[in-house]
Amino acid sequence: MSTPRDSFSSKFGVIAAAAGSAIGLGNIWKFPYIAGENGGGVFLLVYLIFIVLVGIPVMMAEFIIGRRAHQNVFGAFRTLSKSRRWRIVGIMGVLAAFFILSFYGTVASWTIEFLTLAVKNSFEGQSAEQIATMFNNFSSSTWKPLIYHLVFMAMTAIIVIGGIEKGIEKYTKILMPLLVVIILYLDINAVSLKGGFEGIKFLFFPDFTKLTPTLFIDALGHSFFTLSLGMGVLLTYASYFKKDTNLTNTSISVATADTIIALLAGVAIFPAVFAFNTEPTAGPGLVFITLPNIFEQMPGGYIFSILFFLLLGVAALTSSISILEVVVAYLAEEHKISRTKATIIASSAIFATGVLCTLSFGPLKNVHIFNWTIFDALDKIASNILLPLGGMFISLFVGWKLNKRIVFGELTNYAGIKIKFFNLFLFITRYLAPISIFIVFLNGIGILKF
Ligand code: TRP
């Protein structure tokens, strides 16, 4: 089969690609800010439970479907089931990808601005308030954020058109570990800040009075978002896994790496939040208004701030290409459009929606959809509704629809490896994961109250 998608993924180091997709702005930008909005430690606890009980099993389910079918989401469900109703997973996935990339570009534009500020040494001598003002002034203005947003989308599109993921992949293998080293260095400096320990307490000691229905849905939604789950990205990557790839271990490794990076980001940010008296509930700007305060004080801060924002941009890019790819694969393969044309159409349409997200911090600040700004609305609809529901269907498909011998075969590599937890896995995919997603979902949208 010579679909354009083959040339994308087969050249990729697929497992590294899965991690590259998972590790992104979700870990460094989103995790700290929604943990901060949801009371810190208690959010972390619920989020970790969802990663283990729902995230890892659903990732395994995506891997099972993808490797078995050797196709993208639409083709996979078409091959494995006669019923057309599973197409819903693919359709919701394309919609989620569209929404996610729209607001992802906004955050990427902030990253580019902070990179330029770092290069100009603009953080030096600035108070925490002044840094927050820099962020607010930039994010609420009109043209510059839009231009940076456009630059980011264009880079994403060029990589997807040019099929140069392989080159990118080579660099990511060096650059992502470097990002981890920089975050570790930030961590050391953050925890030694005066008053910084408060931040560690905030992140690691749960305060159960902060439990709310929103917390559950935010934690569930974020576990899908951060693992790139629920819209078939990992399913598609798995269609290129080798016969001897251990699906269970791969899921656990990707989830572990992803979680560690989020935690390291939290350990850098919360001590600084408390030491510099900013608010953990500052919202989407949290990382940007917090970290420059540490850079300003630490040895080598100038160089590290440049490297940090540069590598954050690279991490964003390796995730954004995986998101755009979903929409492009859909257009190219289901509607028989050339790959280049599909990429141009998809990225232009996504940018158009992205403009609204970016402007929702400035001129469109007062436009609300269900009480949310446009930016928040697209995030909540995609992360808290579309991804979990997609994951629920994927889980049900593997639990109930797919032949048990196939599920067992994929997990054991057709007797190449032994597994002990097969019944547990079936129980999770049949009942535990779908039911908990459904309850959290009903609870989150207010139909169920407890
Ligand atoms: N997981 C990425 C992050 O944390 C974002 C992402 C990439 C994503 N591909 C995805 C989210 C697919 C959901 C689905 O930044």
The pLDDT value given to residue 166 = 65
| More confidently predicted of 104 and 164 | 104
Residue nearest to atom 8 of ligand 1 (CA): 228
In the predicted structure, residue 9 carries a pLDDT above the cut 70: no
The pLDDT value given to residue 406 = 96
Q: What is the largest CA-CA distance in the chain?
A: 65
Contact 77, 398 (CB under 8 A): no
Choosing from 9, 31, 62, 100 the residue with most ligand 1 atoms within 8 A of its CB, the one to mutate for a pocket test is: 100
pLDDT confidence bin for 449, thresholds 50/70/90: low
pLDDT digits (tens, 9 = 90+) for 267-280: 999 999 999 999 99
The pLDDT value given to residue 240 = 80
CA of 209 to the centre of ligand 1 (A): 30
pLDDT digits (tens, 9 = 90+) for 295-313: 998 999 999 999 999 999 9
Which ligand 1 atom minimizes the distance to the CA of 27? 4
Tell me the pLDDT of the chain averaged across its residues. Answer: 91
pLDDT digits (tens, 9 = 90+) for 219-261: 999 999 999 999 999 998 888 888 888 999 999 999 999 999 9
The pLDDT value given to residue 201 = 97
Q: Report the alpha-carbon distance of residue 275 to residue 293 in Å, rounded.
A: 10
- Around ligand 1, the residues with Cβ closer than 6 Å are 21-22, 24-27, 100, 225-226, 228, 231, 233, 319, 322-323, 387
H/E stretch holding 426: helix 422-427
Residue nearest to atom 14 of ligand 1 (CA): 228
The pLDDT value given to residue 164 = 63
Question: What percentage of the chain carries pLDDT values higher than 90?
Answer: 76
Residue nearest to atom 7 of ligand 1 (CA): 319
Residue nearest to atom 4 of ligand 1 (CA): 26
At residue 373, what are phi and psi to the nearest 5 degrees? -70, 165
The pLDDT value given to residue 4 = 41
Q: Of 20, 34, 83, give the one whose Cα is nearest residue 285.
A: 34
Q: Which residue type sits at 72?
A: N
The whole-model pTM stands at 0.93
CA of 416 to the centre of ligand 1 (A): 31
**∠ Cα 254 260 262 (to 5°):** 105
Which ligand 1 atom minimizes the distance to the CA of 227? 1
Choosing from 31, 111, 228 the residue with most ligand 1 atoms within 8 A of its CB, the one to mutate for a pocket test is: 228
Which ligand 1 atom minimizes the distance to the CA of 229? 14
CA 399, 80, 56, 313 dihedral sign is negative
Q: Report the alpha-carbon distance of residue 282 to residue 103 in Å, rounded.
A: 18
Which ligand 1 atom minimizes the distance to the CA of 230? 14
**Cβ-Cβ contacts under 8 Å for 37 (sequence gap 6 or more):** 218, 280, 281, 283
The pLDDT value given to residue 353 = 98
Partner residues linked to 331 by β-bridges:
none
pLDDT confidence bin for 441, thresholds 50/70/90: confident
Contact 192, 298 (CB under 8 A): no
In the predicted structure, residue 408 carries a pLDDT above the cut 60: yes
Exposure string for 340-363, b = 16+ CB within 10 A, e = fewer: eebbebbbeebbebbbbbbbbbbe
The pLDDT value given to residue 338 = 93
At residue 323, what are phi and psi to the nearest 5 degrees? -75, -45
Partner residues linked to 372 by β-bridges:
369
The DSSP-derived string for 201-216 is HHHHS--GGG--HHHH
Q: Of 90, 55, 67, 80, give the one whose Cα is nearest residue 428.
A: 55
Partner residues linked to 173 by β-bridges:
none
Contact 316, 339 (CB under 8 A): no
The pLDDT value given to residue 16 = 77
pLDDT confidence bin for 193, thresholds 50/70/90: very high
Contact 58, 223 (CB under 8 A): no
At residue 102, what are phi and psi to the nearest 5 degrees? -60, -45
Contact 375, 99 (CB under 8 A): no
Which ligand 1 atom minimizes the distance to the CA of 29? 15
Residue nearest to atom 10 of ligand 1 (CA): 228
